Structure 1
């Protein structure tokens, strides 16, 4: 899904996990969620230079210890987690608009990390830090309960085929983890251009007891989220886009 902002996958393990409430009946409950799939891609010269020059400053080491956001960003500010930023277009745009927020961004795809670092350098962005690591492990080991002010998950891989639906990122176990790490009033903002996935997202988010929908169904597109090139192409072809914004009770 190179044109998408991020992808998600599930690896199978021999240890079964019972279904949880909120999962659509036709979707088998995943056993181990990962926030990505490995994608092929070549790192360009500009991306490689950004990785070398800016990586030491803006790419953080994964550690199985609680994240010290003030130390990492050099200030106290609302903390937004982004899971999968693709090539970083939307991330850089939002960080530029919302200079008062800190953005902790997870992406394993090296060309994407290099592309975002290049934008950080070009735009002089100081409010982004990157973890080139699986976001699920980051949630499990680095983020304390009630430590996040927001979560962005834009255009995760929809896994179109029904037999692959279980690989989708937005499933009850992950949403429960995210909700627990939000401060009261914190939000989760998801977006997708695949209607069946939008319907699953709505059902899973609505069934998480810690979350409340901010809209009657799908939300208007928040003004901070830009239209991506991929999204603009889809809209020209008549494809829909669905935003969902839920807040921690």
Structure 2
């Protein structure tokens, strides 16, 4: 799930707060409060130097960042990192570049990285929109995950939703041919918007075209989180949308 930043964030080595705000139409987050636990703070100190990346505004060299050549998957908004760590452990042959501005969430994922001895994750604690704009070259990604972004339930707030045509056009351009974009939400009106927006992008093709409603079966790599399980027990649906780059 896409989480949101604490009011005070750690500074980068250059002295600039990692959550640098700029005026734009779409952001990958909104501001909310949150507390970092002792364990998460320890993970920042012990594990952070190896797995946290600085926002440079320059195109990334994945081979240099991960010290290997491998398929690279972008994740936008990983929440507390439960699904991220699960998928990274399931697919150690792939690199995962994970964007999240919420400090407790970043600390939680660093803690999971340490506990599970994961080596294929790197974290950018920065607005994913700017990362896409300035640090990801066209045709550089093999996949992208956006799981449970903020649905902005009220109609007057729908314009704040992350998944809109301008962002999807940018993401599609940064996927390699055959690369995929996987979105998931538990809010049906947002699922309908996601399906509409992705279907309108000429660089993308729905993997579920043969299915009547256009939604994909849940891919085996995406785990059921505690949040999702709770929703299912309450009768909430979950919709997966998976498109590939043509």
TM-score scaled by length of structure 2? 0.90
Q: Which runs of 4+ in 1 moved over 3 A?
A: none
176-185 or 37-46, which moves further after superposition? 37-46
Question: Which residues of structure 1 form unaligned runs of 5+?
Answer: 14-30
Distance 1:90 1:63, change over 3 A: same
Report the RMSD for the aligned CA atoms in angstroms. Answer: 1.5
Question: Structure 2: how far apart are the matches of 1:12 and 1:54?
Answer: 29
Residue 142 of structure 1 is matched in structure 2 by 135
Residue 117 of structure 1: aligned partner: 110
1:40-73 Cα shifts (integer Å, max 9, x gaps): 1110000000001111110000001110111111
- Count of residue correspondences: 227
What's 2:233 paired with? 236
Equivalent residue for 2:154, pick from 137, 156, 161: 161
Contact 1:12/1:32 (8 A) holds in 2: no
Q: 2:223 aligns with which of 221, 226, 234?
A: 226
- Per-residue CA distance 1:78-126 (angstroms, 9 max, x = gap): 0000000000000000000000000000000110000000000000000
Residue number among 30, 55, 68 corresponding to 1:75 in the alignment: 68
Instruction: Check the 8 A contact 1:83/1:106 in 2, yes or no.
Output: yes
Q: Give the Cα–Cα distance (whole angstroms) in 1 for the partners of residues 207 and 181 of structure 2.
A: 10
Distance 1:95 1:144 in 2: 22
Choose which of 161, 182, 188 in structure 1 pairs with 2:181: 188
- Residue 55 (structure 2) pairs with residue 62 (structure 1): yes
Q: Does the CA contact (< 8 Å) of 2:71 and 2:142 recur in 1?
A: yes
Paired with 1:126 and 1:188, the residues of 2 have a C-alpha distance of: 23
